[in-house]
């Protein structure tokens, strides 16, 4: 098939959840033998390094700058859609069997007169109006809270319109699929895992790690909660305890960087070139998120890399994990105690991770992806 993947951000390098999902699925489409083009709108122009890597998997790459304007805030359509309207005018001049829109915000590509296509799939990364409402709860800024509230109602209307018009909806989250009454066109498309699984193994020390995008308020909200409430307790109760914060930023942010530097028993790294080092030296991965939607890719990646996962309900939602596959906690003391359990009883912790890995292997995205694409032929 000839497929156009349409993304509202550059998927390479894949340093945060949405980008990982898009990039790994592109590699899956390539492995299945399809011809893939990629259309992207982003605030930053791609570098030559990014272009060189993307062109290994895509036949043609199309790009237009994403533009935010103050007046867009007062439009009846969400800013997240209007800022991507350049997709409607980008010169492509191709015919496709399938458009894969990475969220409803990429809908302007369907208005592009330079393409023809047969079918449209929307990748549902989040229930976007729920997600924006959650971001508002995570923010400490009144201006941001007002923005998220304004966008939420607009996004709800847009999502309903786009979901009606799309031929198929590929949900990353099992939970989100159940919330949307579109059973005739909805399918659970698991997060794409192309890398090999790292079996859990016994490790020395008591290192705990968090990895996540620090430009998202729901991540920093959860991280701050952990540092305030749990980190001091573990410093007092666990010998050799050390906490690694491995964060990604799209651009320099001195305020964020200053907040997490020079904390006791904390190593803070921004945009680490290789995450394997920190997976290898850590026993436990934490995901202390309280607000969000969709699947938290960081939780899946931790399990794939053989770490024990200690997570809130939100941090593990949508994946399909049971409590026998990870350590679950939503309160300070239980979260602390679950970390101590995972650190002190490695045999039990490794068994949980193995169960999670086996579950993820059984729910392989490539099988679902192939079946979905075959249905369009």
Mean per-residue pLDDT of the chain:
94
The total of other beta-carbon atoms located within 10 Å of residue 238's CB is 17
How many structural domains compose the chain?
Answer: 2
Secondary structure (H, E, C), 225-257:
HHHHHCHHHHHHHCCCEEEEEEEECCCCCHHHH
pLDDT reported for residue 234: 98
Residues 147 and 265 both lie in one domain: no
Beta bridge partners of 79: none
Asked which of 141, 158, 189 is the last residue of a domain, the reply is 189
Mean pLDDT for the stretch of residues 338-352: 97
Q: Same domain, yes or no, for 240 and 335? A: yes
pTM (predicted TM-score): 0.86
**pLDDT tens track for 208-255:** 999 999 988 899 999 999 999 999 999 999 999 999 999 988 888 888
Whether residue 47 lies inside any domain: the answer is yes
Is the predicted pLDDT of residue 17 greater than 90, yes or no? no
Residue 256 belongs to some domain of the structure: yes
**Residues 33 and 146 reside in one and the same domain:** yes
Whether 250 and 105 map to the same domain: the answer is no
Mean pLDDT confidence for 135-146: 83
Q: Examine residue 299 and state whether it is found in any structural domain, yes or no.
A: yes
Task: Examine the domain organization and report whether 211 and 306 are in the same domain.
Answer: yes
Q: In this structure, are 338 and 245 located in the same domain?
A: yes
Q: Are residues 96 and 31 in the same domain?
A: yes
Query: Within this chain, do residues 218 and 185 fall inside the same structural domain, yes or no?
Result: no
pLDDT at 181 over 90: no
Residues 136 and 41 in one domain: yes
Percent of the chain scoring above 70 in pLDDT: 100
The reported pLDDT for the residue numbered 50 is 96
CA distances to 206, 231, 238, 259, 267 from 241, rounded to whole Å, are: 5, 9, 6, 20, 12
Statement: residue 199 has pLDDT above 90: yes
- 193 with 24: CB under 8 angstroms? yes
pLDDT recorded at residue 8:
96
Q: What is the mean pLDDT of residues 146-151?
A: 86
The per-residue pLDDT for 72 is 79
CA-atom Rg of the chain in angstroms: 21
Last residue of a domain, one of 132, 163, 189: 189
Mean pLDDT for the stretch of residues 89-114: 97
**C-alpha–C-alpha distance, residues 212 and 74, integer Å:** 32
| Residue 101 is assigned to a structural domain of this protein | yes
Let me know if residue 200 belongs to a domain.
Answer: no
Give yes or no: residues 167 and 265 share one domain: no
pLDDT at residue 84 tops 90: yes
Of 99 and 182, the one with more pLDDT: 99
Q: Are residues 22 and 148 in the same domain?
A: yes
| CATH code of the domain covering residue 171 | 3.40.50
pLDDT of the residue at 302 = 97
d(CA 64, CA 141): 30
Within 10 Å of residue 283's Cβ, how many Cβ atoms? 21
The boundaries of the domain holding residue 131 are 2-189
CATH of the domain at 291: 3.40.50.2000
Q: Is the pLDDT of residue 293 over 80?
A: no
Most confident of 90-104, 269-283, 289-303: 90-104
Domain end marker among 189, 224, 258: 189
- Is the per-residue pLDDT at 117 higher than 80? yes
Domain-embedded: residue 368: no
Residues 224 and 179 in one domain: no
**Is the pLDDT assigned to residue 63 strictly greater than 90?**
yes
């Amino acid at each position: 098939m000839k497929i156009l993947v349409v993304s509202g951000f550059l998927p390479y390098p894949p340093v945060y959840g949405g980008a990982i999902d898009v990039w790994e699925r592109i590699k899956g489409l390539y492995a299945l033998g399809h011809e893939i083009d990629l259309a992207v709108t982003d605030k930053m122009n791609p570098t030559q390094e990014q272009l060189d890597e993307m062109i290994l998997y895509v036949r043609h790459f199309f790009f237009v700058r994403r533009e935010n304007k103050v007046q867009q805030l007062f439009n009846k359509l969400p800013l997240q859609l209007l800022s991507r309207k350049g997709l409607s005018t980008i010169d492509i001049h191709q015919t496709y069997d399938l458009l894969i829109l990475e969220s409803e915000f990429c809908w302007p590509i369907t208005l592009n007169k330079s393409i023809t296509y047969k079918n449209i799939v929307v990748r549902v990364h989040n229930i976007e109006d729920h997600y924006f409402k959650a971001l508002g709860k995570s923010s400490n800024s009144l201006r941001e809270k007002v923005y998220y509230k304004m966008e939420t109602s607009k996004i709800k209307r847009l999502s309903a319109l786009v979901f009606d018009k799309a031929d198929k909806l590929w949900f990353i989250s099992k939970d989100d699929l159940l919330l949307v009454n579109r059973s005739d066109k909805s399918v659970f498309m698991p997060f794409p895992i192309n890398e090999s699984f790292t079996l859990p193994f016994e490790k020395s020390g008591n290192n705990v790690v968090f990895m996540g995008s620090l430009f998202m308020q729901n991540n920093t909200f959860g991280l701050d909660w952990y540092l305030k409430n749990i980190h001091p307790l573990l410093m007092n109760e666990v010998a050799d305890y050390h906490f690694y914060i491995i964060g990604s930023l799209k651009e320099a942010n001195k305020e964020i960087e200053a907040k997490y530097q020079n904390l006791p028993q904390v190593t803070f790294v921004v945009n680490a070139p290789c995450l394997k080092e920190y997976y290898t030296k850590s026993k436990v991965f934490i995901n202390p998120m309280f607000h969000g939607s969709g699947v938290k890719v960081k939780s899946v990646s931790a399990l794939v890399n053989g770490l024990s996962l200690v997570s809130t309900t939100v941090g593990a939602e949508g994946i399909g994990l049971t409590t026998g596959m990870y350590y679950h906690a939503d309160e300070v003391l239980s979260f602390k105690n679950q970390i101590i359990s995972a650190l002190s009883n490695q045999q039990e912790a490794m068994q949980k991770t193995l169960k999670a890995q086996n579950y993820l292997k059984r729910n392989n995205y490539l099988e679902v992806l192939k079946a979905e694409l075959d249905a369009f032929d």
